């Protein structure tokens, strides 16, 4: 409960019980009392002492897990997410549809690479990562991170939804390049001696000019596992930030096809390992909208002149709160999530999502993008410091 930070704030004189009890008994009224400024020129302050568009202190720590190829711990306030990336190999011989579906497209990157612009290469990437399930994010909430979540039970609806949100965001942002995950093999050119043999020269010449085709022997599959160790609201931002930081930290060993053992071998040499080259730095910012009157939306539909009555009163009816904590999340229905990236100082909206209510309008969303782009600067700094 985020009640301890509130003792310094002014309380209405009618209140005769300690604020922590009031917060539990009348949470909605408590938060509204906090947000309603005593005078109109003062900014609203939330129950946890933050301003409405203020995010919690975020810390990022990477590379602390021994057995992961990349790892990160992200703490946003009291929410803690640990992400570990493990790379394993998927041999193309294990892919049942490989020979059939990939045979024509396999030649595309090698033969017509120059002819294609980068955009279509992206699409090719996207297809392979998505079709072959090369990115496998799973988020676990069954760590005792919050009282309601029973450990040992199958993933809750929330955990499933967060896992899928992360997966779809990984796919739509094209964050990971498929080429980083491919392991190529150039078969030795046995034909070269025979090429000089005049008897068979004709046949070989018609078939190939440059020896056997370079082929993909295997893919790296990245298992991205996120454990939410502590859940105090806004799990998605923390989870996504931890995925991003862990992927930035991920090192893949240098791997090659070994023809003698007919398997992929890796070098354990740290210097030969390569990092992933990620596309951009999409950062998620989540918001919730607190309604001063819980039934306002409902009333607007049922009682036609309710809105005018409210306007006469002149009090603010909604507050958009950035980075909600667990207490605030429990009191709000309407959520918004904006994922932005910046390129040359220009903000790009990667994803925008809003659901659960009617209160956030287009002007508000525009403001949220501004807040999110500020957040991008802050989090980028945190990510680069570690």
Partner 1 sequence: MADRRRINGPPAGTRPPVYASLKESKTGVSERTLRQRQPTELRKFYLKTGMIPTASGSSYLEFAPSAALAAARSNPKSLIPPSSALKVACTVHGPKPLPRSVPFSPNLLLTTHVKFAPFAARKRKGHVRDTTERDLGVHLETALRGAIIAERWPKSGLDITLTIVEAEDDRWWGDAPDSHDASWGMLNVLAGCITAASAAIADAHIDCLDLVSGGVAALVSDDASTAPRLVLDVDPAEHRSIQSACVVAYMPARDEITELWLKGDSSRAALEKSDGRTGHEALIDGAVDAARGANTILTDAVRESIARSFAQV
Partner 2 sequence: MSNQRQASSASQVPHLSPAELSYLYTSLSLPKNPIRPDGRSPTQFRPLSAETNILPGTNGSARIGFADGTQAIVGVKASVEKTILAADTLDSRSLAQHGDALNREGEEGSAAVSGQGEWVQMSIEIPGYRDDDALPVFLGEMMRESLVGSVAGGSEEVKEMAGGLKGRLVINKRWHWRLYIDVLLLSQPLAYPLPLLSLTTHLALLSTKLPKLKSTGEEDPFFDDDWAVAEYLYPRSNKQSSPSDAPTYPVRPPVTLLVIAVGENVIFDPNREEIAVADAVLAISITRSSDSENMKLLSIRSIDPPSRLTQPGIPNSENVNMLGGPPASSNQSGGQEEVGGVWRPRRGGVQRSVITRMIKTVLQKGGVGEEVIQGLEGVKVE
Residue 157: CA count within 13 A, CB half-sphere? 0
For residue 126, which of 166, 70, 170 has the smallest C-alpha distance?
Answer: 170
Q: How far is the CB of 143 from partner 2 (least distance, A)?
A: 17
What secondary structure does DSSP assign to 81-92, as a single string? EEEEEEEEEEEG
Q: CB-wise, 230 or 373, nearer to partner 1?
A: 230
For residue 134, which of 222, 204, 2, 22 has the smallest C-alpha distance?
Answer: 222
137 binds partner 1 (CB under 8 A): yes
Binding-site partner at residue 140 among partner 1, partner 2, none, CB < 5 to 8 Å by type: partner 1
The pair of three-digit structure tokens given for residue 119, joined into one six-digit string:
């955009």
12 binds partner 2 (CB under 8 A): no
Residues 252-311 that bind partner 1 (CB under 8 A): 253, 255, 258, 263-271, 273
Backbone phi, psi, residue 137, to 5°: -85, 135
Contact criterion met (CB below 8 Å) for 52 and 44: yes
232 binds partner 1 (CB under 8 A): yes
Look at strands 135-140 and 215-230 and give their pairing: parallel
Give per-residue burial for 238-274: e unless 16+ CB within 10 Å, then b.
bbbbbbbbbbbbbebbebebeeeeeebebeeeeeebe
As a whole number of angstroms, the distance between CA 188 and CA 68 comes to 34
Q: How far is the CB of 262 from partner 2 (least distance, A)?
A: 11
Binding-site partner at residue 153 among partner 2, partner 1, none, CB < 5 to 8 Å by type: partner 2
66 binds partner 1 (CB under 8 A): yes
List Cβ neighbours of 152 (8 Å cut-off, separation of 6 or more): 142
CA angle 206, 212, 216 (to 5 degrees): 140
68 binds partner 1 (CB under 8 A): yes
Site string for partner 1, 167-186 (x = CB under 8 A): x-------------------
As a whole number of angstroms, the distance between CA 57 and CA 306 comes to 40
Q: How far is the CB of 134 from partner 2 (least distance, A)?
A: 20
- Pick the piece of the chain touching partner 1 (CB under 8 A) from 94-102, 117-125, 299-307, 312-320: 94-102
Using CB under 8 A, which of 1, 5, 29, 153 touches partner 2? 153
Site string for partner 1, 150-169 (x = CB under 8 A): xxx-xx----x--xx--x--
Site string for partner 1, 327-366 (x = CB under 8 A): ----------------------------------------
Q: How far is the CB of 20 from partner 1 (least distance, A)?
A: 10
Q: CB-wise, 57 or 153, nearer to partner 2?
A: 153
Binding-site partner at residue 54 among partner 1, partner 2, none, CB < 5 to 8 Å by type: none
Rg (CA), the chain: 27
152 binds partner 2 (CB under 8 A): yes
Q: CB-wise, 200 or 259, nearer to partner 2?
A: 259
List Cβ neighbours of 119 (8 Å cut-off, separation of 6 or more): none
CA distances from residue 185 to 92, 217, 263, 269, 324 in whole angstroms, order as listed:
12, 6, 11, 20, 49
Q: How far is the CB of 153 from partner 1 (least distance, A)?
A: 10
Using CB under 8 A, which of 39, 42, 118, 261 touches partner 2? 261
Q: How far is the CB of 273 from partner 1 (least distance, A)?
A: 6
For residue 106, which of 222, 213, 219, 264 has the smallest C-alpha distance?
Answer: 213
Look at strands 318-322 and 283-291 and give their pairing: antiparallel
Q: How far is the CB of 96 from partner 2 (least distance, A)?
A: 22
Binding-site partner at residue 163 among partner 1, partner 2, none, CB < 5 to 8 Å by type: partner 1
CA distances from residue 319 to 190, 315, 364 in whole angstroms, order as listed:
72, 11, 10
Q: Which residues bind partner 1 (CB under 8 A)?
A: 4, 63, 65-68, 71, 78, 80, 82, 84-91, 94-96, 132-134, 136-138, 140, 142-147, 150-152, 154-155, 160, 163-164, 167, 221, 223, 225, 227, 229-232, 251, 253, 255, 258, 263-271, 273, 326
Q: Which residues bind partner 2 (CB under 8 A)?
A: 152-153, 261, 265
């Amino acid at each position: 409960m985020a009640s301890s930070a509130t003792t310094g704030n002014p309380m209405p004189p009618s209140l005769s019980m300690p604020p922590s009890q009031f917060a539990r008994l009348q949470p909605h009224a408590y938060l509204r009392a906090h947000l309603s400024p005593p005078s109109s020129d003062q900014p609203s302050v939330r129950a946890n002492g933050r301003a409405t568009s203020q995010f919690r202190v975020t810390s990022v720590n990477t590379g602390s897990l021994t057995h992961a190829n990349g790892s990160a711990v992200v703490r946003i306030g009291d929410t803690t997410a640990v992400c570990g990336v493990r790379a394993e190999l998927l041999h193309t011989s294990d892919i049942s549809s490989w020979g059939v579906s990939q045979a024509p497209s396999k030649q595309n990157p090698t033969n017509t690479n120059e002819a294609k612009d980068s955009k279509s290469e992206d699409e090719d990437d996207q297809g392979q990562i998505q079709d072959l399930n090369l990115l496998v994010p799973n988020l676990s909430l069954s760590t005792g991170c919050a009282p309601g979540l029973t450990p040992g039970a199958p993933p809750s609806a929330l955990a499933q939804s967060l896992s899928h949100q992360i997966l779809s965001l990984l796919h739509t942002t094209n964050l990971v390049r498929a080429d980083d995950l491919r392991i190529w093999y150039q078969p030795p050119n046995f034909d070269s001696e025979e090429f000089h043999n005049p008897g068979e020269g004709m046949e070989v010449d018609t078939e190939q000019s440059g020896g056997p085709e370079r082929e993909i022997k295997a893919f790296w599959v990245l298992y991205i596992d996120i454990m939410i160790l502590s859940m105090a609201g806004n799990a998605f931002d923390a989870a996504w930030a931890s995925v991003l930081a862990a992927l930035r930290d991920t090192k893949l060993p240098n791997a090659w096809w070994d023809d003698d053992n007919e398997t992929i071998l890796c070098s354990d040499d740290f210097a030969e390992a390569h990092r992933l080259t990620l596309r951009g730095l999409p950062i998620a910012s989540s918001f919730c909208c607190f309604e001063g009157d819980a039934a306002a939306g409902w009333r607007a539909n049922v009682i036609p002149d309710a809105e005018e009555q409210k306007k006469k009163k002149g009090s603010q009816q909604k507050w958009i709160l950035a980075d909600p904590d667990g207490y605030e999340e429990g009191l709000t229905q309407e959520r918004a999530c904006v994922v932005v990236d910046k390129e040359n100082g220009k903000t790009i909206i990667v994803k925008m999502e809003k659901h659960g209510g009617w209160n956030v309008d287009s002007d508000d969303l525009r403001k949220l993008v501004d807040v999110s782009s500020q957040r991008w600067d802050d989090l980028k700094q945190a990510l680069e410091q570690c």
